[in-house]
Structure formats: C-alpha cells, structure tokens
Amino acid sequence: MRPLGLFRHGGLCRINYCTHKAYEEIPGPHPLPLVGNALLFSPLGLYNIPRLLDGFADLHRRYGEIVKLKMGNTPSVLLFNPNDIQAMFDHEGKFPQRPTFDALKDYRKRKYQTVGIVPDNGEEWYKMRQNVQILLKLKTVHSYWNRQQAVAEEFSASLLSKTNANGIIKDFVQHAFQYSLEAIGVICYGKRLNCLSANLQECDAIVKANIQFLKALGETFHQPPWWKLWRTKAYKIIESTQDLMMTNAIKYLEEARQKFKQNPAVFLEEDPILCHLLENDNLSATEKNLLVTEIFQGGIDATGTVVTMMLYELARNLPIQAAVYDDLIEKKLRPGYAPPLLRACLKETLRLHPTAGGTSRIINSDAILSGYRVPKGTLVVGVTPIISRMERYFSNPLQFNPWRFIDKKELPHPYASVPFGHGARMCPGRRIAEQEILLCVAEGERIAEITSVSQPSQKFYQHLNMQARLELATSALLAIITTLISTH
C-alpha cells in the first residue's frame, strides 16, 4: 500500500491503492484510436456544441457520477457530484489552471505582446490576476453604488418608454446588455457612456462586437485549431472585436489620465479601481488597457443575461415578486445589505440559469474523485448546470423557489451551484455583477409590476442550453404592466 498524497474532503484521507479504484476503471464511452471520443462532440456527432450539456446529461445517465473521456490525446473527466467539485477545487493549487483560449492568446501575444488574465495559466496568469483582486473588495465596489444606482434608475425609466402598445418590451435582453454596458463603463472608464440615451449607436456596436467575440471564442475553443493553419472567420472576428475594445480602452483611459492629473484626490475617491490600475508602475500602458478591456468585456454578457432571467422568473412568479417588493419596502437595498429574499432570488436565478456551461480545472495533484484515483494534470470538468438541477440536491429542482436559500435548516450543498466558480480563479467581477443585478432588479420592482406574456411551461426549464432559454425568455416575456405601484 503506497500513500501518494493527501486530500481534504470531509477530513484528511490518504490515497489508498487497495480501496480506491484505478483511473482506467472510470466508466465512459469507448475511445477511438487518435481521435478518442472527439467525434461524439463534432458537428456531425451525437452531441454537437449547442447540445453539449444534453450530451453530458446523456453520459451521466449512461455511466453515472463520474465519466471518463478522451478528446484527441487529452484525457478528461466529467463530474456530476458536488463532493467531487469540492475535491476538484481542493486540488487546483496556487495557480489554478483551466483549458486556455489559445486563439485569443495567440492574437494578443502577436498584437500586444501580453495576453491578460482570461486566456492564460500559471505564473503569468497569477501576476496579472493580482492587479484585479481589488474588484472583489466590497468597500471598493460600494463606492460605485450611487453612480450605478443612477444607471439602474435611468434604465428602468427608459424601459417604460420602450414598451409597445400591448405593454411588451421586444428583445429585452438587448436592453439589459445596454444596462450592463453602461454600469460597467462607470467602473472601467470612470464615465457614463450614455448607452441608454444619446450614444445608442456606439453602444450597440460594442454589444454586438461582444456577442460576436464570445461566439468566435467558443468556436475556436471547441473546434480543431484550424486557425493555426489559416486565419479562419472566427479568428478574424477575435482580431477585429479585440481591436475595437482596445481602441475604446486607449481612448477612455487617456481621458481618465487627464482627469487624474487635474485632481488626483477626487479621482482616487471616485474611481478607486481605475486609479489602482493607472497608478500601478508594474504594468505597461498596454497591459493596463488590456486589463480594463477584460473587465469591461467580462461585465457585459453574463450580467445582462442574469438580469433578464431574474426579471423573467419574477414575472412568472407573481407572489414571489410581491413578497420581494414588500421586503424591499420594509428593509431597503443599500450598500452592504440586500433584503434576504431579493438576494435569494438572485441565487435561485443563477442556480437555474448559470451562464457558464460548467467549471473546470487541470488538477495539480493526484485526487480521489468518486472513489477513483485521478492523476495530476487531468482536465476535470464539473458539470454544475446539471448538478444544480438534480432532485438529489434540490427538491422539486425545476421550480423557482428562492426560499431554499433562506431556510437555514435545509441549505443546499455549497458546491451544487457555483455560478461564479470558486477559489483563487473565481470570477473577479462577482461583487460588481451582484451589485449591478440587485440594483437593476430592485429598481425595476420599485417602479412597475413585471409580468410575463407566456404561461410557465416545463419545456422552458428542460432546455439545458442556456442560449435557448434566454431566447425564449427574451421573446416570450417581459410585458411590463405599468400601473405604477411606485412611490414616485
């Protein structure tokens, strides 16, 4: 019996070669020579990319809580048990590694000689990541409260003018993206972009570029690296959208520098995050521009999506909406405090509609996962969007029930829903996103009763593909009945 390592998971345990099963014994589909299981996920395969999560759910049904795959030469393991997700994070090490976005990394390296945070791993990732840890400081995030609240107020008011004759807002999510763009602009550029009024055209172009960027990034990530052979369409989109974002960053950071020169004390107080970056002598000007670009882009899509899904859930669950409204009147949303029901609605929205397809790490030490020995260096994918809908961890899982996050006796498993990831590589924008979403939903609640034009259907929840749910929500949804219950 040869103890190889230690792991923490409900206690200290040794990897035991007698009791723990070998990696080779993990069940999974049979790999073919050279390609492994990659064909299953190819455009013609059983589980093409839009059906990735359906594919993972199918693999879970066939093989159980842990499934072994081989994508080309790369071994990987899918996890469907929150205890294993916890163990995965326990084995992430000081420099948690995710699979890299090689096409983005390649372009940034060639064009800017620096790659930023998102596509990188290892010590280089760590050095860059230290510069944005300030985003997670609550006090710093709260210093933007008033300005972001003003954005939320303007957004809600602008929505009322966007309803059609039947009180319906068309393509709600596009408006939500304008909100998230305006709100993150306050932090990244220290200014209002005026996306909700005068500057619609520029903002629409940014939103569109960001959507194209994410789609192209996904394509280059999931497909064979054709871009290494020629500049594919997706690679060109990455080039052009990155250039657009960087041009904006250069322009607005220059404006911020001027503001800083004029009155450093005021700038420090009003724009602590920008100040922190601009004043950092360890970063080159390009690195500063790139970091701001990463925060800016990180802040658009997911936040707008979650705002849409949360309002949709409240629209379909009017008694909950009324209870949230009462809670808000009584307890008031303020920096450092969110009424418990509102906060629980956000958690429940993220449980049912997580924006990430899962959470992954290349583990940096041998681990025991579901009783199998998984070697260091294996790519481990926690399929959290499926776990967070399992009856085993959430009773009546397809029901929107925020109280499950309030009832202290029955709190869910802490790793069954991890929408912002976890550990040293957790989403650095988490606190900002939470603030923006809560401000926006609270403001929407304050001025209007929000209802849905569609009846609840189980089919909606059964779509595992987030994009499909978002499209249903945004087209079927948001009628805003504006018999203002407001205190205006």
Annotated binding site for heme: 427
Nearer to ligand HEM, 120 or 366 (CB): 120
Closest to ligand HEM by CB, 118 vs 344, is 118
Nearer to ligand HEM, 325 or 420 (CB): 420
Phi-psi region of 268 (alpha: psi -120 to 50; beta: other; left: phi over 0): alpha
Which residue, 75 or 419, is less far from ligand HEM as judged by CB?
A: 419
Closest approach, Cβ 421 to ligand HEM, in A, equals: 2
Tokens found for residue 381: 């994918």
Would you say 441 or 479 has its CB closer to ligand HEM?
441
Reference 305, options 189, 462, 433; nearest CA is: 433
The alpha carbon of residue 237 and the mean position of all alpha carbons in its chain are separated, in whole angstroms, by: 21
Shortest distance in whole angstroms from residue 432 CB to ligand HEM: 5
| Alpha carbons 32 and 289: distance in angstroms, whole number | 45
Min dist. Cβ of residue 283 to ligand HEM (A)? 15
Enclosing H/E stretch for 237: helix 233-262
Decide whether 309 or 478 has the Cβ nearer to ligand HEM. 309
Residues lying near ligand HEM in the complex (CB under 6 A) are found at 98, 117-118, 129, 135, 294-295, 298-299, 302-303, 306, 355-356, 359, 419-422, 425-429, 432-433
| 1 C-beta neighbours (distance < 10 Å), count | 8
Q: How many CB atoms lie within 10 A of CB 153?
A: 15
299 versus 402: smaller Cβ distance to ligand HEM: 299
Compute the least distance from the CB of residue 96 to ligand HEM, in Å.
Answer: 7
Which of 364, 370, 351, 365 is closest to 77 using CA atoms? 370
Q: In the complex with ligand HEM, which residue's Cβ is closer, 38 or 186?
A: 186
Q: Which residues contact 410 (CB under 8 A, 6 or more apart)?
A: 404
Amino acid at the residue 159: L
Cβ neighbourhood burial of 82 (10 Å; 0-12, 13-18, 19+): buried
Q: How far is the CB of 82 from ligand HEM (least distance, A)?
A: 15
Looking at the Cβ atoms of 133 and 399, the one nearer to ligand HEM is 133
Tokens of 264: 């450093």
Nearest approach, Cβ of residue 227 and ligand HEM (Å): 21
Helix (H) or strand (E) holding 381: strand 379-382
Distance between CA atoms of 153 and 183, rounded to whole angstroms?
A: 11
Is residue 271 within 8 A of residue 186, CB to CB? The reply is no
Q: How far is the CB of 64 from ligand HEM (least distance, A)?
A: 25
Residue 34 CB contacts under 8 Å (≥ 6 apart), including other chains: 72
CB of 346 to ligand HEM, least distance (A): 9
Dihedral (Cα; 431, 299, 335, 145), 10-degree rounding: 150
Q: Tell me the binding residues.
A: 427
Secondary structure element (H or E) that encloses residue 234, with its range: helix 233-262
**Cα–Cα distance, 125 to 116 (Å, whole number):** 7
Q: Residue 30 is encoded by which pair of tokens?
A: 């049979």
> Which residues, 6 or more positions from 28, have their beta carbon under 8 angstroms from its beta carbon?
37, 59, 63, 67, 68, 69
Separation CA 474–CA 463 (nearest Å): 15
Minimum CB–partner distance for residue 301 and ligand HEM (Å): 8
Q: Between residues 91 and 422, which has the closer beta carbon with respect to ligand HEM?
A: 422
Smallest separation, CB 299 to ligand HEM (Å): 3
Cα-flanking dihedrals φ and ψ of residue 12, to 5°? -90, 135
